[in-house]
Amino acid sequence: MDTQQASFWQRYGIFIKSILVGFLILVLLIPTAFIMELVRERQDRQREVIAEVSSKWASAQTVSGPFLMIPYQEKFVDDKGKVMMIKRMMHYLPESENINGELIPEERSRSIFKIILYKSDLTISGKFLPIELSQVGIDPSDVLWNEVRLCLGISDNRGIAEALSLNWNAVSSEMDPGFPPTDIAGSGVSSLLKNAMALKDSAQSYELKLKLKGSERLYFTPLGKQTNVKLRSTWPDPSFDGKFLPTQHTVTDKGFTASWNILHFTRDIPQLWKEGKQNIDGFAFGVELLQGVDSYSKTLRTVKYALLFIALTFFLYFFIETLKKRSVHPLQYVLVGLALCIFYTLLLSLSEYTGFNIAYLIASVATIGLITSYTYSIFKQAAIAIALLVFLSSLYGFIYILIQLQDGALLFGSIGLFILLAIVMYYSRKIDWYGEGKKETANETINDNSSAL
């Protein structure tokens, strides 16, 4: 019977080997998952270091205001018919808010991590129009004018570098930490106004200078009926974020300038309101000082292509093994797969010291060299080793380009995968998947032997 038909392995060996290769690909996704988790752990460690340094300097800052908090008395009759007075608070926002400032970045290091800190020098000025209390149904006689405060919200008071003084209509006064509870800001500074009653009849101007420290981001909340912000800095990698983008901005390798012009129509907040919650936080905008290369996010994106790396390399080995009639042991597949996985740990560890680009170059060259030399030791043919060298170099180069791209990554990647699939389909057509050729050869041999007898 064995001489009349091809053996089971001859008929189904290629199919079984392809199933085994596919199984090994899935197995190697296990260390890949651990590597991905390792990248996230390093990201978390970086955030912990940033939070630790920020806690001793100042965290990301949001400047809100200035705005006026105006207390007033409201009459009501209790259950016994007695007239009572209760103290309430209303908020009044400025007609104009002009902020002009400079961000001075500082790069600090803690262990292998770098943290972006800054000092800012801000001038905040503008004016308040005469207050129209009739809009909220309050009699001027019920207002506690001697308790009116101008408040400036600052998200982290530890960042205040110098004492603040307020110039209110050409009258100077010191600002103190804190103000009455409000939903505009949770912390900041305020000053009692010496001539607040003048708001009934005339516009009042204000100006204050703020030297503020922070880390990573500086945001503003547009409380003016017209808010104008101008910022400049020597930091070359800004990210303009928040509810509003700059009206104008310029970014060069020497720094950036940006300006925002925001009208009150773009925010659903009245200029004057009594007690009641307003959604202030949702309108913040500003700038984030980015580090030039976010190596962890790029490394994480690279690890997500691990399945593509392993599958294509294994398929290439499988095609060479099948077409060249050279057997490759499953353990040799595993060793090649582990080399591909170690590439990511090399990339992660090196990028913490050299940056992503140099780390990618070193890790890819080392991995390609290792796999190419190992391939030559298996097949003993320089042509096969060179072909694998070209293939891996092209694959690593292709992935590197994908990582660098943003909007075009999907298009470029889809085209690349389509071309790779076409190449795989072209070369796989030469494979005798069911051993039919071997079966025909065996049958011809049997027929020849029969004829000879």
Query: What does the pLDDT average to over 122-144?
Result: 92
Band (451; pLDDT cuts 50, 70, 90) = very low
- Per-residue pLDDT at 402: 87
Query: Range of 26's domain?
Result: 11-45+296-435
**Phi-psi region for residue 53, left (φ > 0), alpha (ψ -120 to 50) or beta?**
alpha
Tell me, what CATH number does 105's domain have? Answer: 2.60.40
Looking at the structure, do residues 99 and 135 belong to the same domain, yes or no? Answer: yes
Predicted confidence at residue 1, as pLDDT, reads: 46
Asked if the structure places residue 405 within a domain, the reply is yes
Region 196-224 average pLDDT: 93
pLDDT at 431: 64
Model pLDDT, residue 434: 60
- Are 204 and 246 in a shared domain? yes
Mean pLDDT of 398-411: 81
Closest CA to 164 of 126, 209, 202: 209
Over pLDDT 70: what percentage of the chain? 91
State whether 257 and 362 are in the same domain.
no
- Give the model confidence (pLDDT) of 65-95 as tens digits: 899 999 999 887 777 777 778 888 999 999 9
As given in the structure block, the two tokens for residue 405 are 């791209």
For the chain, give the longest Cα–Cα distance: 130
Q: Are residues 206 and 312 in the same domain?
A: no
What confidence tens digit (pLDDT) does each residue in 323-340 have? 777 788 889 999 999 999
Q: pLDDT (tens digit, 9 = 90+) per residue, 272-306?
A: 998 767 778 789 999 999 876 678 889 998 999 99
- Predicted confidence at residue 4, as pLDDT, reads 43
If phi > 0 it is left, if psi is from -120 to 50 it is alpha, else beta; for residue 371 that is alpha
pTM: 0.76
Note whether residue 446 is domain-resident. Answer: no
82 and 184 within one domain: yes
Residue 303 belongs to a domain: yes
Whether residues 301 and 375 fall in one domain: yes
Single residue among 262, 292, 322 that ends a domain in this structure? 292
pLDDT at residue 392 tops 90: yes
150 and 169 co-located in one domain? yes
Same domain as 273, residue 332 = no
Among residues 292, 310, 329, the one where a domain terminates is 292
Check pLDDT > 80 for residue 216: yes
Q: Is residue 287 part of a domain?
A: yes
Per the structure, the count of domains in the chain is 2
- On whether both 287 and 304 belong to a single domain, the answer is no
Mean of the per-residue pLDDT values of the chain: 87
Is residue 423 included in any domain, yes or no?
A: yes
Residue 343 pLDDT greater than 80, yes or no: yes
**Three-class HEC string of the chain:** CCCCCCCHHHHHHHHHHHHHHHHHHHHHHHHHHHHHHHHHHHHHHHHHHHHHHHHHCCCCEEEEEEEEEEEEEEEEECCCCCEEEEEEEEEECCCEEEEEEEEEEEEEEECCEEEEEEEEEEEEEEEECCCCHHHHCCCHHHECHHHCEEEEEECCHHHECCCCEEEECCEEEECEECCCCCCCCCCEEEEECCCHHHHHCCCEEEEEEEEEEEECEEEEECCCCEEEEEEEECCCCEEEEECCCCCEEEEECCEEEEEEEEEHHHCCCCCEECCCCCCCHHHCEEEEECCCCCHHHHHHHHHCCHHHHHHHHHHHHHHHHHHCCCCCCHHHHHHHHHHHHHHHHHHHHHHHHHCHHHHHHHHHHHHHHHHHHHHHHHHCCHHHHHHHHHHHHHHHHHHHHHHHCCCCHHHHHHHHHHHHHHHHHHHHCCCCCCCHHHHHHHHHHHHHHHHHC
300 and 274 in one domain? no
Q: Kindly state whether residue 425 falls inside one of the protein's structural domains.
A: yes
Q: Is residue 447 part of a domain?
A: no
* Domain match, 331 and 240 both: no
Inside any domain, residue 326: yes
Residue where a domain stops, chosen among 292, 321, 338: 292
For 136-158, write each residue's pLDDT tens digit: 889 888 999 999 999 999 999 99
**pLDDT mean over 20-49:** 91
Q: How many residues does the chain have?
A: 453
Is the same domain home to 16 and 100? no
